[in-house]
Amino acid sequence: MCNLYSMTSNQQAIRDLIAGWTDAIGNMPTLPGIFPDYAAPIVRNTPTGRELCMSRWGLPSSRKALLDAATKRADKLRAKGKPVDFDALLRMEPDSGTTNVRNTASSHWKRWLGRDNRCVVPFTSFSEFNREAGGDIWFALAPERPLAFFAGIHVPQFTCVRKVRTGEETCDLFAFLTTEPNAEVGAIHPKAMPVILTTPAEIETWLSADPMEALSLQRPLPDGALMVVARGSKRDPDPERMATAT
């Protein structure tokens, strides 16, 4: 499961791969470590066209997951002799979000697989954690961290409780698809890797095609397409700074 990635590229690099979007960000931040529930850039379909915007990482979790969590909380309260309004408890159950989507046949995800809810998530590297291999293992297409995109899903203006202290919020949310790993990622994390798009044609298919054609992209990159570029850091080191230091 990918729960950490970086985006240290810029708008012009995005324009080189995706045409015809409006910029709702302006001064886009450099993000060497993007964690779940952080805001990060996505290019999404909207009713008025494509848009580059910031969105929070983590789609709404399934109702079953929230129901199970609320049931556990209710049971603990009852065990302490406290009264429980289960409907209110369920409504306020915190959901930090689901960062990766694998089972696209699930009814929970199928409702958001249409063109209107598809997006691409720009990144320059991503991490898979493996304690024995050194902690966070960072992958990229090359040492220079060229821009690529995750195949994403976005849900705009969704009302939920992300954190207990902030209560109900209405947020733009996103996550990205995963698939079986290729050789490089599988050596570190044998369960999954993100679905990665590297060409304008793949990006256009994901953003524009019907769901069946778009989901044909839910496959690993070929073996040899990725390389390990860093180990052990919660933020991907800047390759230019590292080169200068050496």
Q: Are residues 114 and 192 in the same domain?
A: yes
Contact 194, 120 (CB under 8 A): no
- DSSP letter for 207, please: H
Task: Look at residue 237 and tell me whether its pLDDT is greater than 50.
Answer: yes
Tens digits of per-residue pLDDT, 1-40? 799 999 999 999 999 999 899 999 999 999 999 999 999 9
Going by DSSP bridges, is the β-strand pair 118-123/148-161 parallel, antiparallel, or unpaired? antiparallel
Q: Are residues 49 and 87 in the same domain?
A: no
Contact 229, 138 (CB under 8 A): yes
Q: 62-71, 114-123, 128-137, 200-209: which has the minimum mean pLDDT?
A: 62-71
Q: How much is the average pLDDT of 43-65?
A: 92
Q: Are residues 214 and 113 in the same domain?
A: yes
Contact 9, 124 (CB under 8 A): yes
Q: Are residues 128 and 217 in the same domain?
A: yes
* pLDDT at res. 238: 66
Total domains, the chain:
2
Task: Compute CA distances 192 → 3, 98, 187, 189, 231, whole Å.
Answer: 12, 15, 11, 7, 19
Q: Sign of dihedral through CA atoms 102, 104, 110, 112? A: positive
Tens digits of per-residue pLDDT, 115-161? 999 999 999 999 999 999 889 999 999 999 999 999 999 999 999 88
Q: Are residues 78 and 44 in the same domain?
A: no
Q: Please say which residue of 48, 78, 94 terminates a domain.
A: 94
* pLDDT at res. 245: 35
How far, in whole angstroms, is CA 128 from its chain's centroid?
13
Instruction: Look up the CATH number of the domain holding residue 206.
Output: 3.90.1680.20
pTM for the structure as a whole: 0.90
pLDDT band at 82 (very low <50, low <70, confident <90, very high): confident
Domain that includes residue 87, residue range = 62-94
